[in-house]
Structure 1
Amino acid sequence: MQPVRTRSKVLYILLISGFFAILGSTMSKSPTLPLYARDLGLGREEIGLVAAASTVTGIIVNFASGVLSDVYGRRKLLKMSGFVFLTAPPLYFLAGNALTLAFVRVYYGIATAVFVPVSFALISDTYPEKKGTFMGFLSSATLAGRALAPLIAGSIIYFLGFSVVFVLCSVAGLIVFALTFRLPVPDGKPERFEFTFNDNLLLIGLLDAAVYMAYQGIETFLPLLYYLQGKAWLSGLILSLEVGVMAIVKPYAGYLSDRVGRTRPIIGGMVLVGAAMLTFSLASSLPLVIVGALSFSVGASLSEASTKPLATEVSKLHGAALGFLESIKDIGQALGPVIIGILGFSRGFTFIGLFGIVALLVFVVRFGLRGPQISKNR
């Protein structure tokens, strides 16, 4: 095991890097991307396709980056992601149409798709006995960046224009890139790579997919609920509250997961997510919407704080496991708005809630109430 000082250094570097990585990448898209695309003359359909480009990248790259980090080491992959965080924002200046803007989003999407699974895998390697707790801290750092980004970017666009936003995104990328060189060089060589498909990971991934179906569905359609129409500030406040609660709860949820096991927090969390979706489907007043948002935030935090460490415990290949989870999560995130768009608010939110409960029931049937037996050498 690494010395305490070395482990602390890794943790601090990842927390700071995680904050600036997600701050910069989120500033480039929320609310910047649709406004910049409209300024370029793109229509709604083109803006939707451009916005989806980075998500599609994540579905493919998340798993690949996790596997590559198992083969070549976490440090090399994190340095690569830092380079993309640094170099992607200036490319916005060269975009002049939907195709070139989509290319920029695809390239930028590589950075996040590499950074997220590999950084969590490094946390798992560094803190094998307390991975839930410290994965929770890393999640909170990224959520803090995600919560602050729209406010910062929106204010800068209003007062100074798009150019300053893209420059600041690149500065954030420079900080991430520089910090990756401060990561300790690992001792020895990575273990021999032997990948076999683990169907337990698919079940765990379905839970995350359900959570992010719900998350993206809420984020996309909450402002369109009839009693929030024309009140963008209020819908923004509710969404910020949702992210803020998740940032606060996740470290505690991870600590709970380390203490009582992974399964019970997952069960409690997914029940809360299902209840939140039912609340949204029946919501006829603002208080019910707020209750649903808070219920979702706590439930999602409880579940996700356990699914990530559990994935590293059912698979010896931590990078591949977490990359696979991120890919499944991105599929769910992409499907959420589509499902609600097709089925409507009430039936769409209900469907997503039922999907999460069914995934939970299959998980419990497979793993039992106490979860899988984890060998200590993993």
Structure 2
Amino acid sequence: MRTDSKALYLILIAGFFAILGSTMSKSPTLPLYAQSIGLGKGEIGLVAAASTVTGIFVNFASGLLSDVYGRKRLLKMSGFVFLSAPLMYFLAGDALTLALVRVYYGVATAIFVPVSFALVSDLYPEGKGTFMGFLSSSTLVGRALAPVLAGSIIYFLGFSLVFVLCSLTGLVVFALTFRFPETGGELKRFEFTFSGELLLIGLLDAAVYMAYQGIETFLPLFYYLQDKAWLSGLILTVEIAIMAVVKPYAGYLSDRIGRTKPIVAGMTMVGLAMFMLALSDSLPLVVLGAVVFSVGASISEASTKPLATEVSKLRGTALGFLESVKDIGQALGPVLIGFLGFRTGFLFVGVFGLGALAVFLLRANRGFSRGINR
């Protein structure tokens, strides 16, 4: 147990630095740097999407590879990319090269996230919800601190120091991966059977991240916040802080009462929050919607990840598949809300989430996985 506890601390520290560095490289760094080298708004949008598109394909592949070759080997690879990718910004002078840097950087996160969660699931099979929640919280703390830190460095010292600092955080991650325990590697050959159960769980996370990215993108454009940039930033920071606090407790709860009840409660809150945002006619209702979403998303996601490892014997592959479906939802959220408008768009996301929950419950009532209804 002592070894496992030490391993957990190493993984949590690595998770913090991995997401701190990767987020610093893009928020607010990426659009500002792209503008400084002469890119237009359309080119900036395409460059920003590059790493997300990478994740859609690499998440699943990295999870499967970790089941074949082991978690440690894949995490070492991600650590090397975290270390080397920021330095490549110095070589980027146009939209194509900057997009290629973002694609390469996206590989690091797409490997690290599903494989690190799979590693935690391997080490703590009886408390995976709780400890996955701690890992989520460590990454969220890094995500929350990154924009303030990167923005301040850019303002006072310029872009170069940000890229160097991102590389140093990658060096920490790379060094820590050498001390991770070796798990996974139980497959002797590549095999994956498509699972409708995993797809349903993935759709739940996709709905959550449709909502999350929609809120993050459009919250500053709500009428009540258009002249209050500081307040929209504060709301988004509070949203992340709530998630960081709630996830370990929600994971602990799911370990004790099963995965289904927290998913039902969480997704219901996510749907309710979307309706609040769609129908909001005052600032307090917008704030309340963001808060309700944060709590609901935390409760649901704290159960979907461990559940994915319980419906499939290939834990890395399952989590990689989940991340890929989630990334599709995250990419679609702002697009749908942008084209449909705030009211219709947020209503659509809310209905989609509740619809995915209804289908999930129909399948769950048939007992589609061991332990789901415990």
Deviation at 1:44, TM superposition (A): 0.6
Is structure 2 residue 310 aligned with structure 1 residue 313? yes
What are the superposed Cα offsets for residues 123-182 of structure 1, whole Å, 9 maximum, x if unpaired?
110000000000000000000000000010011111111111111000000000000011
Deviation at 1:286, TM superposition (A): 1.3
Give the counterpart of 2:229 among 229, 232, 238.
232
Kindly indicate whether the alpha-carbon contact (under 8 Å) linking 2:67 and 2:185 is maintained by their aligned counterparts in 1. no
Paired with 1:157 and 1:147, the residues of 2 have a C-alpha distance of 17
Deviation at 1:371, TM superposition (A): 7.0
Deviation at 1:184, TM superposition (A): 2.6
Is structure 2 residue 92 aligned with structure 1 residue 95? yes
Query: Which residue is equivalent to 1:144?
Result: 141
Is structure 2 residue 358 aligned with structure 1 residue 368? no
**What one-letter code is carried by the residue in structure 2 that aligns with 1:54?**
S
Give the counterpart of 1:195 among 181, 188, 192.
192
Kindly indicate whether the alpha-carbon contact (under 8 Å) linking 1:263 and 1:369 is maintained by their aligned counterparts in 2. no
Give the counterpart of 1:122 among 98, 102, 119.
119
Deviation at 1:290, TM superposition (A): 1.0
Deviation at 1:191, TM superposition (A): 3.9
**What one-letter code is carried by the residue in structure 2 that aligns with 1:240?**
T
Paired with 1:340 and 1:223, the residues of 2 have a C-alpha distance of 14
Paired with 2:272 and 2:371, the residues of 1 have a C-alpha distance of 30
Query: Which residue is equivalent to 1:327?
Result: 324
Paired with 1:347 and 1:6, the residues of 2 have a C-alpha distance of 51
Give the counterpart of 1:183 among 180, 184, 187.
180
Is structure 2 residue 49 aligned with structure 1 residue 41? no
What are the superposed Cα offsets for residues 215-248 of structure 1, whole Å, 9 maximum, x if unpaired?
0000000011111112211110000000000000
Query: Which residue is equivalent to 1:82?
Result: 79
Change (3 A) 1:134 1:64: same
**Residue segments in structure 1 that go unaligned for 5+ positions in a row:** none
**What one-letter code is carried by the residue in structure 1 that aligns with 2:186?**
P
**What one-letter code is carried by the residue in structure 2 that aligns with 1:325?**
L
Change (3 A) 1:239 1:369: farther
Kindly indicate whether the alpha-carbon contact (under 8 Å) linking 1:263 and 1:371 is maintained by their aligned counterparts in 2. no
Give the counterpart of 2:59 among 58, 62, 65.
62
Query: Which residue is equivalent to 1:351?
Result: 348
Deviation at 1:192, TM superposition (A): 3.5
Kindly indicate whether the alpha-carbon contact (under 8 Å) linking 2:70 and 2:182 is maintained by their aligned counterparts in 1. no
Q: Between the two proteins, what is the percent identity of the paired residues?
A: 75
Query: Which residue is equivalent to 1:217?
Result: 214
Give the counterpart of 1:282 among 268, 279, 282.
279
Change (3 A) 1:270 1:370: farther
Is structure 2 residue 106 aligned with structure 1 residue 106? no
Kindly indicate whether the alpha-carbon contact (under 8 Å) linking 1:261 and 1:370 is maintained by their aligned counterparts in 2. no
Kindly indicate whether the alpha-carbon contact (under 8 Å) linking 2:197 and 2:368 is maintained by their aligned counterparts in 1. no
Give the counterpart of 2:248 among 232, 247, 251.
251
TM-score, structure 1 length as denominator? 0.96
What are the superposed Cα offsets for residues 46-81 of structure 1, whole Å, 9 maximum, x if unpaired?
000000000000000000000000000000000000
3-state SS of paired residue (1:122): helix
Kindly indicate whether the alpha-carbon contact (under 8 Å) linking 2:278 and 2:342 is maintained by their aligned counterparts in 1. yes
**What one-letter code is carried by the residue in structure 1 that aligns with 2:77?**
M
**What one-letter code is carried by the residue in structure 1 that aligns with 2:171?**
L
Is structure 2 residue 205 aligned with structure 1 residue 208? yes
What are the superposed Cα offsets for residues 312-331 of structure 1, whole Å, 9 maximum, x if unpaired?
00000000000000000000
Deviation at 1:10, TM superposition (A): 1.7
Kindly indicate whether the alpha-carbon contact (under 8 Å) linking 1:213 and 1:337 is maintained by their aligned counterparts in 2. yes
Deviation at 1:370, TM superposition (A): 7.6
Kindly indicate whether the alpha-carbon contact (under 8 Å) linking 1:27 and 1:152 is maintained by their aligned counterparts in 2. yes
Paired with 1:304 and 1:192, the residues of 2 have a C-alpha distance of 31
Q: How many residues align?
A: 371
What are the superposed Cα offsets for residues 99-122 of structure 1, whole Å, 9 maximum, x if unpaired?
000000000000000000000000
Paired with 1:113 and 1:179, the residues of 2 have a C-alpha distance of 18
3-state SS of paired residue (1:48): helix
Kindly indicate whether the alpha-carbon contact (under 8 Å) linking 1:273 and 1:353 is maintained by their aligned counterparts in 2. yes
What are the superposed Cα offsets for residues 309-348 of structure 1, whole Å, 9 maximum, x if unpaired?
0000000000000000000000000000000011000000
Query: Which residue is equivalent to 2:11?
Result: 14
3-state SS of paired residue (1:278): helix
Query: Which residue is equivalent to 1:340?
Result: 337
**Residue segments in structure 2 that go unaligned for 5+ positions in a row:** none
